Structure 1
Amino acid sequence: MTSVVFVHGTGVRIESYEKSFTRVSRGMTKARPDAEMVRCYWGDTCGASLGMDGASIPVRDRNRGVLDEPPADDPTALWAVLLAEPFAELRAYAAETEAGGTGAGFVPGRRDPWEVFAESVRTLPTDGLEVSPELAPYLHRALDRVASELDLLPAGSPRDGGVNTLTARAVTAVVLHLADDAEEDSDPLPVDGDDRDAFVEQLAERFAGLLGGTDRAFGRVGTSAKWLGGQALQSLLWDHSELAVRYRRGLTGKAVPATGDILRYQARGTELRSRVADTVRNTRAAAPDRPVVLIAHSLGGIACVDLLAMEPSLKVDLLVTVGSQAPFLYEMDALTGLRRGEPLPDSFPRWLNVYDDRDLLGFVASKVFPGRAEDHRVDTRQPFPWSHSAYFAHRKLYDWLGKELP
């Protein structure tokens, strides 16, 4: 057997860690049944908190600033909008439909087509839909919420089959919001982009089969998504930047675990590194003949690189960093355990570094440590910051890890 120690990243507290540990254990069990998972939770005593009830946080209003229009040539930008405002796409489409005069107008005794469509969404049969256990409990609530939104859309026509995909994306976004709100931790719910889009496709086909029509009559969805991604995202960022200042105290308090852990590590990193080192030693002592593997996310990866560079006697057979900033800190000469220009010690284990292009907190290591670190790119197809939490929901990651574990 192989012992796999899972070290979490910044902002994680015990409830979130247990869920992540269960998720990683489930994935590793499928890929490598011989792997024994070992907990390494450090957010309790090594994590940050506001010890004076936020006395240092000022609160003031300011006028809105002017934002340049953000680029919208990536379909992921659309999901960045929908994960902030699930109904943005439907509202923009309904307004455009009404402005274009495609509706049939008011007819006495005739129900508005949006109301008819809304009722069909509300009563949509969900049996047979493939949805993860983490999202399934929220599907019916999401359908009802989207149906209520459809009831409020301007008079007009949803066109034959034209809104199947738009509605499916809205339902999926609401499901993700409901599931994420139910989580008490600060990280976005880990969801893989492939799974998300497969669920959207299932819903769109279900709408098409129930209501008639397909999305072939709505070929402009792909191109209009670019426009919507830019326009809606600009508006949302504008509004949210205003709210961020107005409600800074609450927002800062919620952000402390994520950002504070990083700052605290820079000043008090010995505590975290000691926690990891003790876990490795205890794991090795319990089963001396087993290989020991460290899988470390985000800040946990920084701590593990520092630790293994500073303590050559600590025996680890493989280090896997996921969404880590360690190479970035080394390049800035800000890594605690190793100065820029210094090589990794000979005792440093094989290092596999996992990153996603869309994760703005994930960096590559092979160019910084040539010959000593190997990069592995994954594509969770999630926008940032969801991409930073989506690694361990990505099934292909475990298929790859299963082949790399000693």
Structure 2
Amino acid sequence: MTGVVFVHGTGVRAASYDKSFARVRDGLERVRPDVRAVRCFWGEEHGASLGLDGASVPVRTGNRGAGDPGFDDDGDPLALWALLEAEPLAELWEFTETARGDDGDTGFAPGRMDPWETVADKVRALSLAGVGDTARPGLRRLVADLAPALDGAAERVADEISRELGGAPYTEGVGAVAARAVFALALNSAETAGDIDALLPVDGADRDTVVGALTDQLGGADRGGVVSRAARGVGGRMLNSYLSPLSSLARTFRGGITRGSVPAGGDILRYQARGAGVRAAIAAAVREAADGGSPVVLLAHSLGGIACVDLLADAAGPPPGVELLVTVGSQAPFLYELDALTSLRRGAPLPAGFPRWINVYDEHDLLGFVGGEVFPGRVTDLRVTTRQPFPRAHTSYFAHQRLYDLLGPELPR
């Protein structure tokens, strides 16, 4: 039975690896039930940590803004979701400002039910029941992750609508805006409450299905996540309002920010200086997968792809049994171009014994690179589209069902 060794990337610890491994296992099982997923979790033993409890971090305060008034989403739906990643209520705030208007006419008649209270009540009643009843495992997992946080997110959006729009003339289009706000808040809450180490992988199609179901319950339209006029207007003010204080906040809370960023950034630095342990962990997982002569596939994300390329290009030769390397959202070709790979200098070809290499990337993932032009004839680049903005595009590959459809026929039997 072919063994697929899943090698994680930077910043991953036990909780997020377990979630990602389950996604990979389920995705592979759907397209190739004859393969076996094999764990390769190196983050705990070989990942970075502040060994002196942050003794090197200075305590500083200050106040210097750094805003950027230039913002133009150009009608791109990813711009809206990138905005909601930064502030889930941003679009709703702009909507309420537009709906209130400047003429002072409330449009509300005493003795009649305020239409905004009706909207708020519908938001509070939002449910994900039945949304996860699907053959798509990524959608089922997303619904399961969001469900515990939905009520709190819906209550917050409903309160915002009641407080800011009560008594104002009713304006069409609030359904889709409210649905996106609830989704963004619930996702943010799920990640915080889950105490995981990375952004939850979310495929754009699954996101739009959930948002569409919520929009339908609110009697709205605009199911495709299209950027609204409100979102286009809020961009410049949003950046000024929220990015300006960032410098000050970053200085004030530098210790916590540094500790939070250590797994992601520190793993990269530690690998460059002490990467032998990671490569040894991968080699051990290959030996386990190859037990009995089974073919082995290395499926590696981000930094894991760099480590696999270094292992397979080492002068000692690749571990026996590896027939296919699949790098996903990896920087290995980029590091080769920088002459920064450990085992392969720029200008040197891939060794003759290097296995077949498939490199998967998403154009919206700023940490994903292509290898076909770097290693002509030795790398096959496959582009996928998770329909997520960066940085979530970098973490969402393994929630994207198309990835497994592409890989299924490529895995050795």
TM-score (normalised: structure 2): 0.90
Shift of the alpha carbon at 1:234?
4.2
Determine if the alignment matches structure 1 residue 291 to structure 2 residue 302: no
Structure 1: gaps of 5 or more residues: 209-213
Determine if the alignment matches structure 1 residue 334 to structure 2 residue 335: no
Of residues 123, 126, 142, the one that matches 2:153 is 142
Query: Structure 1 residues 185, 367: CA separation in 2 closer, same or farther (over 3 Å shift)?
Result: same
Alpha-carbon RMSD: 2.1
Shift of the alpha carbon at 1:146?
1.6
Give distance in 1, aligned partners of 2:46 and 2:409: 33
Matches of residues 15-54 of structure 1 in structure 2 within 5 Å? 15-54=15-54
Structure 2: gaps of 5 or more residues: 133-139
Query: Structure 1 residues 129, 38: CA separation in 2 closer, same or farther (over 3 Å shift)?
Result: closer
Determine if the alignment matches structure 1 residue 381 to structure 2 residue 387: yes
Encode CA deviations 1:82-119: one digit per residue, 9 max, x unaligned.
12211111111111121244853454444543223111
Matched letter for residue 17 of structure 1: Y
Matched letter for residue 305 of structure 1: V
Give distance in 1, aligned partners of 2:79 and 2:164: 24
Give distance in 1, aligned partners of 2:234 and 2:373: 37
Alignment partner, residue 73 of structure 2 = 72
Determine if the alignment matches structure 1 residue 174 to structure 2 residue 180: no
* Greater displacement, 50-59 / 104-113: 104-113
Alignment partner, residue 351 of structure 1 = 357
Matched letter for residue 306 of structure 1: D
Query: Structure 1 residues 159, 106: CA separation in 2 closer, same or farther (over 3 Å shift)?
Result: closer
Of residues 169, 173, 180, the one that matches 1:162 is 173
Shift of the alpha carbon at 1:160?
5.2
Shift of the alpha carbon at 1:64?
1.1
Encode CA deviations 1:333-360: one digit per residue, 9 max, x unaligned.
1111111110000100000011111111
Q: Contact conserved, 2:359 with 2:382, CA < 8 A, in 1? A: yes
Alignment partner, residue 265 of structure 1 = 271
Give distance in 1, aligned partners of 2:296 and 2:169: 57
Q: Contact conserved, 2:325 with 2:355, CA < 8 A, in 1? A: yes
Matched letter for residue 14 of structure 1: A
Shift of the alpha carbon at 1:184?
1.8
Alignment partner, residue 136 of structure 2 = none
The DSSP-based 3-state class of the residue aligned with 2:326 is strand
Give distance in 2, aligned partners of 1:332 and 1:136: 44
Give distance in 2, aligned partners of 1:384 and 1:246: 26
Shift of the alpha carbon at 1:25?
0.4
Q: Contact conserved, 1:78 with 1:228, CA < 8 A, in 2? A: no
Give distance in 1, aligned partners of 2:53 and 2:296: 40
Give distance in 2, aligned partners of 1:103 and 1:402: 61
Encode CA deviations 1:245-272: one digit per residue, 9 max, x unaligned.
2211101101101100000001001111
Give distance in 1, aligned partners of 2:306 and 2:399: 21
Determine if the alignment matches structure 1 residue 325 to structure 2 residue 331: yes
Q: Contact conserved, 2:298 with 2:325, CA < 8 A, in 1? A: yes
Q: Contact conserved, 2:201 with 2:392, CA < 8 A, in 1? A: yes
Of residues 68, 85, 88, the one that matches 2:87 is 85
Matches of residues 65-214 of structure 1 in structure 2 within 5 Å? 65-73=66-74, 74-101=76-103, 104-105=106-107, 107-124=109-126, 126-130=128-132, 132-157=143-168, 159=170, 161-208=172-219, 214=220
Give distance in 2, aligned partners of 1:22 and 1:97: 44
Alignment partner, residue 237 of structure 2 = 231
Encode CA deviations 1:182-212: one digit per residue, 9 max, x unaligned.
222221111011111121122112211xxxx
Q: Contact conserved, 2:122 with 2:217, CA < 8 A, in 1? A: no
Query: Structure 1 residues 235, 160: CA separation in 2 closer, same or farther (over 3 Å shift)?
Result: closer
Query: Structure 1 residues 313, 114: CA separation in 2 closer, same or farther (over 3 Å shift)?
Result: closer
Q: Contact conserved, 1:8 with 1:40, CA < 8 A, in 2? A: yes
Give distance in 1, aligned partners of 2:192 and 2:85: 12
Shift of the alpha carbon at 1:155?
4.0
The DSSP-based 3-state class of the residue aligned with 1:83 is helix
Q: Contact conserved, 1:325 with 1:363, CA < 8 A, in 2? A: yes
Alignment partner, residue 211 of structure 1 = none
Shift of the alpha carbon at 1:59?
2.7
Give distance in 1, aligned partners of 2:342 and 2:80: 39
Encode CA deviations 1:249-298: one digit per residue, 9 max, x unaligned.
101101101100000001001111111112212322x221x210000001
Determine if the alignment matches structure 1 residue 301 to structure 2 residue 302: no
Query: Structure 1 residues 98, 276: CA separation in 2 closer, same or farther (over 3 Å shift)?
Result: same
Encode CA deviations 1:378-398: one digit per residue, 9 max, x unaligned.
111111111111000001111
Matched letter for residue 298 of structure 1: S
The DSSP-based 3-state class of the residue aligned with 2:383 is strand
Matched letter for residue 309 of structure 1: A
Shift of the alpha carbon at 1:242?
3.0
Give distance in 2, aligned partners of 1:125 and 1:51: 45
Give distance in 2, aligned partners of 1:47 and 1:305: 18
Alignment partner, residue 135 of structure 2 = none
Matched letter for residue 203 of structure 1: L
Alignment partner, residue 283 of structure 2 = 277
Q: Contact conserved, 2:64 with 2:245, CA < 8 A, in 1? A: no
Q: Contact conserved, 1:306 with 1:338, CA < 8 A, in 2? A: yes
